[in-house]
Chains A and B, each alone.
Chain A
Amino acid sequence: MEYEPVIGLEVHAQLLTKAKIFCGCSAEFGAAPNTHTCPVCLGMPGVLPVLNKKVIEYMLKMALATNCRINRACNFARKNYFYPDLPKGYQISQYAAPPAEHGWIEVDLNGGKKRIGITRIHMEEDAGKLLHDERNPVSYVDLNRTGVPLIEIVSEPDIRGAEEAAAYLRRLHETLVYLGICDGNMEEGSFRCDANVSLRPKGAEAFGTRTELKNMNSFRNVQRALEYEIKRQGYVLEGGGEIAQETRLWDDTAGVTYSMRGKEEAHDYRYFPDPDLVPVVIDDAWIDAIRKTLPELPLEKRERFIRDYKIPAYDAGVLTASRELADYYEETVRLSGEPKLASNWVMGDILRFLNEDKRSVRECPVAPASLAELIRLIREGAISGKMAKEVSEAMYRTGKPPATIVAERGLVQITDETALAAAIAEILEKNPAQVAQYKAGKEKVFGFFVGQAMKETQGKANPQLINEILKKMLAS
């Protein structure tokens, strides 16, 4: 029997607010253990949470960017369970009444597009972290992360394959980062994903029994884990077996998923409305104000680049991969007036240099103004393409503007027609045999003359000009 996978994803995105969700502590990553804490996030007796309004605003941005319906009122609920990284013994989350529901995003699939539904988005607090001593039977608790704001984005079970899941995740990730509400760092856990996956006979309506996959900390791992799990479930079903409803962990090294806990051991979280917090009311004015702050989203930007700059879809895709790169490109275009050349240079040399050094666009030593200047020099014929390559590399290494590098290295293209003509005439005179060959129809020799001319001018001659003069002289 042929089976079809049914996948739904739950993404937890850490929000880039300065303060935590229910207290004034810094939400920044990487501080010494337990230094970003106070009685509130430590869950001490008698303390109370106060909601950070910025968290609602960030959640609203994502809700609007993913076409969600926004509920005018929502409340917080307690999710009760015991664990040492959860100092209150419950996580403040949202349950019955989420703030945003019924959204969707569009992903590109083999040239086509597919809409994937978003069930809900809600706000919650992150838990702390346990650090296990590898040599001793001791665990340490770091509560810096406790109370860092998260949004959970739950998809509909609309996803039909591992690759599709990865495409959906990339689109979510890109949107969050574009909105400036999440840094998207998967290794540090700012963007985490759990997956629910089941198989059903192709064409069937009803869903099969699902498993929940956890512990996948990269796009690649999500894809690999799903591929593995789809195969595993397929084998079980084909062998006449039944899928157990359970939570499974992905083992990156072994490349397998294994059972963590079964249905019987599933927690009963005893959700109930948190009596320490009042309902959140979101009115139209607030939604409109947030809508006005939304930046152009990647998909819109991509389409605009293709339309306005007349660049291929592939280029537009690369150039809009991040908001910073797109801004960099657009600034270069604005200053140079050359969308295609700007695209070639950004996608070519600039990205290559940055990738080699694992640097972000923000750290690029070549300012858009310098790159635009380089493009202008090429367009005006002041330097050759070959020179430009040398100049761009020097610009990247030294941070100097192109004019300085050109001057320092004496890289001036000879565009003086009379001088070039004299030099070429001399070359032709010195090589009568080759001239004869050319005139006999062996046009390949033309390249030889170009080479000689470049050699004579130490590469500084404008190649186009050489071509023109040569053609004229050889024709006469």
Chain B
Amino acid sequence: MELYSLTIHELRDRLRAGETTSAEIAASVFGRIDAVEGDVHAYITLMRETALAQAAEADEKIKRGEGGPLAGIPIALKDILCTRGVRTTCGSRILENFVPPYDATVVEKLRAAGAVFTGKTNMDEFAMGSSTETSFFGVTRNPWDLGRIPGGSSGGSAAAVAAGECIASLGSDTGGSIRQPAALCGVVGLKPTYGRVSRYGLIAFASSLDQIGPFTKDVEDAAIMMNAIAGYDPRESTSVPEEVPDYRAFLGRGIEGWRVGIPKEYFIAGIDPEVEAAVRRAVEVVEKAGASCVEISLPHTDYCVAVYYIIAPAEASSNLARYDGVKYGFRTGEAGDLLEMYKRTRSAGFGAEVKRRIMIGTYSLSSGYYDAYYRKASQVRALIKRDFDEAFKSCDVILTPTSPTPAFRLGERLDDPLQMYLSDIFTISANLAGIPGISVPCGYTAGGLPLGVQLLAGHFQEGRLLQAAAAYEKNASIEKRRPSL
């Protein structure tokens, strides 16, 4: 077994036992990157030199018995997370040359835990997309089928884990951007409760929806990553001073006697039959684990996509106003005056999808339209949240498909925004409600593409969510395959 194909906990055991070193792990991962990155293109920026230095430092610390919980573990960061002294592009030309003088809080935390940063991963521009095709830096390919997309917007982070180009990674999830690519790349992806992980240093797309979370090879690693990144941050007003439990302690407790809610609105026409079959099997697995499945209703499900595509672009239109060519990032030359400079810079600096969303958001916030769109959407959002509050009175966790289809072909939906937006139909509701969700591998299509099942839990119930995911993972015993790269 190559080191790059192991999990965090497996590597940790070997490091502690002195069977390997951080330097060897880093060398293995960068060797893998050299071998497959040309095909996959998971990264925008590689951090090889600093990674090797971090690995050496981790080895020193491990030797002295001071290694942190992630000492020597190669981790990739979505290029939406600010890294001190390392270019952070958000997949956009407008930040092509932006080097932040600060670390995101999660980056600081991972640094403190001893992690080795492999690089910054590719993503849809400003996290706007479900395929990682809108990146200014080119597409990322699905390691399971290079003709297909890895999902998005955190496609680089998902593909890097799947391809063995890192051991774990961080992504961000505004409407499914962690869970959907996790499902499509056959890895575990967790979106925490809104307020559980600090957003400080996460380049904002839609501030009321964005959350940072991990991609890992199994559920135990997800718990380890959550232990490292969760918690209150005085620099982030919407982070919540709620105690962080040891998430690993929830694993292995099982779900005997639990009630698992199956929302009837999530098994719709248009869902891929192989996806549906896989999720039906997942229902049987949780029952086998001792839980009972109950049908529940989330009556406002139909409105989720519409509400999301009003609220997220509205916030984005404001969040992206700072990219004006004045202070940092891209600026066009030869503009005659200020207005011209703004127009040219933003026209050339942003891609089509970003511009589309800025226009939608600007429109829905405009005077005369605000009440009909933004205000109404906020009201419906409250109803969607209430649906979940009601549902969790009759169940412990909710089980749904993560994505209605397996990975689609490159370019297949790029010219059809509406079709693209429907990729997130099962994931958006968790962002609107602010609840945590996780996607866990649940099998393969006949053609060998990975599939994922989504579990959702109530606010700040990441412990129970991981408990259910671990129980599912154990009882499903999905065949461990690796992409043939």
Contact = CB atoms under 8 A, between A and B. Distances in A.
B438 to A, nearest CB: 24
A43 B100 contact: no
A44 interface: yes
B318 A89 contact: yes
A329 B414 CA distance: 78
Contacts of A39: 100-102
A391 interface: no
Contacts of B362: 270
B95 A87 contact: no
Given A82-B324, A84-B338, A276-B237, A46 B207 contact: no
Nearest to A23: B235
A77 to B, nearest CB: 10
Interface stretch (B145-153, B194-202, B286-294, B421-429): B194-202
A272 B370 contact: yes
Contacts of A47: 102, 200-201
A270 B315 CA distance: 11
Nearest to A24: B235
A78 interface: yes
B318 A80 contact: yes
A275 B314 CA distance: 11
A127 B207 CA distance: 22
Interface in B298-355: 314-315, 317-318, 320-322, 324, 326-328, 338, 342
Interface in A9-51: 39, 42-51
A51 B237 contact: yes
Given A82-B324, A276-B207, A45 B318 contact: no
Contact of B237 (A50, A87, A272): A50
Nearest to B328: A44
B237 A89 contact: no
Interface in B73-92: 80-82, 88, 90
A456 B201 CA distance: 87
A275 B434 CA distance: 13
B345 to A, nearest CB: 11
B238 A278 contact: yes
A270 B365 contact: yes
Interface in B89-129: 90, 95, 98, 100-102, 104
Contacts of B95: 45
Interface in B344-403: 362, 365-367, 370, 374
B236 interface: yes
B318 A270 contact: yes
Contact of A44 (B100, B321, B338, B342): B100
Nearest to A40: B235
B38 interface: no
Contacts of B320: 89
B203 interface: yes
B204 interface: yes
B327 A42 contact: yes
Contacts of B366: 268, 270
Contacts of A84: 324, 326, 338
A54 interface: no
Contact of A278 (B206, B237, B321): B237
Given A39-B102, A89-B321, A271-B365, 15 more contacts: A45-B322, A46-B81, A46-B82, A46-B100, A46-B104, A46-B201, A50-B235, A80-B321, A80-B365, A89-B318, A141-B326, A270-B317, A270-B367, A272-B315, A278-B238
Contacts of A44: 100-102, 322, 327-328
Contacts of B199: 46, 48
A275 B317 CA distance: 13
A90 interface: yes
B208 interface: yes
A115 B366 CA distance: 37
> Which of B88, B98, B367 is packed against the most chain A CB atoms within 10 Å?
B367
B234 interface: yes
Contacts of B80: 46
Interface residues of B, number: 44
A351 B135 CA distance: 70
Given A50-B237, A87-B326, A45 B374 contact: no
Given A48-B236, A270-B366, A43 B315 contact: no
Contacts of A87: 322, 326-327
Contacts of B326: 84, 87, 141
Interface string A267-298: 01011100111100000000000000000000
Contacts of B208: 275
B314 to A, nearest CB: 6
Nearest to A76: B237
Nearest to A42: B327
Contacts of B365: 80, 270-272
Interface string A36-80: 000100111111111100000000000000000000000000101
B367 to A, nearest CB: 5
Greatest chain A CB density within 10 A among B201, B315, B321, B370 is at B321
Contact of B238 (A82, A141, A271, A276): A276
B88 A45 contact: yes
A88 interface: yes
Interface string B266-309: 00000000000000000000000000000000000000000000
A90 B82 contact: no
A51 B235 CA distance: 10
B321 A272 contact: no
Contacts of B207: 275-276
A280 to B, nearest CB: 10
A46 B238 contact: no
27 contacts: A39-B101, A39-B102, A45-B88, A45-B95, A45-B98, A46-B81, A46-B88, A46-B199, A47-B200, A48-B199, A48-B237, A50-B236, A78-B318, A80-B321, A82-B324, A84-B324, A87-B326, A88-B321, A88-B322, A89-B324, A90-B318, A141-B326, A141-B327, A270-B366, A276-B207, A276-B237, A278-B238
A276 B194 CA distance: 12
B82 A89 contact: no
A473 B338 CA distance: 92
B104 A48 contact: no
A49 B234 CA distance: 10
A441 B417 CA distance: 114
A46 B237 contact: no
B322 A48 contact: no
B6 to A, nearest CB: 32
Interface in B196-246: 199-204, 206-208, 234-238
A78 B244 CA distance: 32
> Top 3 nearest A-B pairs by Cβ distance?
A89-B321, A275-B208, A270-B365
Contacts of A278: 237-238
Contacts of A90: 318, 321
Contacts of A45: 82, 88, 90, 95, 98, 100, 203-204, 322
Contacts of A51: 237
A125 to B, nearest CB: 14
A139 to B, nearest CB: 8
Given A45-B95, A270-B366, A272-B374, A277 B237 contact: yes
Nearest to A45: B203
Contacts of B328: 44
Interface in A221-278: 268, 270-272, 275-278
Contacts of B82: 45-46
Contacts of B104: 46
A90 B318 CA distance: 7
Contacts of B204: 45-46, 276
A173 B253 CA distance: 66
A350 B201 CA distance: 57
A467 B342 CA distance: 86
A43 B322 contact: yes
A82 B236 contact: no
Given A39-B101, A272-B374, A48 B314 contact: no
B202 A46 contact: yes
